[in-house]
Amino acid sequence: MVAVGRLIGAHATLTRQLSAQLVAEHGLTLNEYEVLLLLARAPERAMRRVDLAHDVRLSPSGITRLLDRLEAAGLVGKRQCEADARVTYAELTTAGMAKLERCAPDQAAAAERLLGERFDEAELASLVELLGRLSAAADDECDPTP
């Protein structure tokens, strides 16, 4: 199947392009950026580490390390859960919020440049739909909620 190689190559491309600018101009990994983004959208700007890990598809240890970095940079803080002493919440600090607001426009521009130029609305939509099936599929396999 020749297709597979191409699919993977294309993704690598996308990720690299998108992360390059982010790293260069804001010192953030794509994953770090996405975590910030997820937190910003979450209620109370806080999320459990497990859920965060799941959403960015990182291993538990991966998330620990990523959050360590963000915490060291002051962009994220820890909060203990009262109901369950095992869980720690990561919550966006105001500094983190500010950072995100600085990154977002550039990131959106990069995405626009990469995608908007190449695809029209319909194509983009179908791309998202098609790829979406893959993610959905993966979720099923790990977490077969019927």
Partner DNA sequence: CGGATAAACTTGCTTGGTCAAACAATGTAG
Partner DNA sequence: CTACATTGTTTGACCAAGCAAGTTTATCCG
Beta bridge partners of 89: 48, 79
Figure out which of the listed residues 18, 39, 66, 76 binds DNA, where binding follows CB under 7 A: 66
Tell whether residue 122 is a contact of a copy of itself (CB under 8 A). no
Tell whether residue 58 is a contact of DNA (CB under 7 A). yes
Closest CA to 100 of 42, 47, 50, 33: 33
Q: Which is nearer to DNA, 39 or 53 (CB)?
A: 53
Q: Which is nearer to DNA, 86 or 133 (CB)?
A: 86
Residue with tokens 């240890």, as numbered in its chain:
61
Q: Which residues contact 15 (CB under 8 A, 6 or more apart)?
A: 30
C-alpha dist (Å) from residue 105 to 34, 35, 116, 140? 14, 16, 15, 34
Distance of closest approach, residue 57 Cβ to a copy of itself, in angstroms: 5
Q: Looking at residues 51 to 110 of the shown chain, list those that interact with a copy of itself (rule: CB under 8 A).
A: 56-57, 107-108
From the list DNA, a copy of itself, none, partner contacted by residue 85 (C-beta under 5 to 8 A by kind) = DNA
